[in-house]
Amino acid sequence: MDVDVHLVEGLAEEALGERLRGLGLPIGGVKEKTLAALRAGIKTVMLPKRNEKDLEDVPAEARRKLEFVFLERVEEAVRTAIGELPKAAAKRAA
């Protein structure tokens, strides 16, 4: 399984609390990243829920070819990509 992760770089201090709580912060370059994913053969794109409005910048043809998953919390990305963690692993991760 190939997983490509883009993280927010240079967070402002006021966003640090959101980051520590695992909230999905918006990203830039949604159109470019989405088109690159399509060219690479990726079929599902996960984006922060706050970027849902940015899909209007993505060409309709590309939107039709991809499945989009909008995330409110970072943990949702893990569940979407690999499924639920077994209970023993989840306890160790906590």
CATH of the domain at 61: 3.30.230.10
- In a domain, residue 40? The reply is yes
- In a domain, residue 64? The reply is yes
Nearest partner of 26 among 72, 63, 76, 77, judged by Cα: 72
The two structure tokens encoding residue 93: 């991760």
Q: What is the pLDDT of residues 25-75, one digit of tens each?
A: 888 999 999 999 999 999 999 999 999 999 999 999 999 999 999 998 878
Q: What is the pTM of this model?
A: 0.68
pLDDT band at 83 (very low <50, low <70, confident <90, very high): confident
Cα angle 65, 29, 61 (rounded to 5 degrees) comes to: 20
- In a domain, residue 3? The reply is no
Structural domain tally of the chain? Answer: 1
- In a domain, residue 17? The reply is yes
- In a domain, residue 61? The reply is yes
Bridge-based pairing of strands 44-48 and 67-71 is parallel
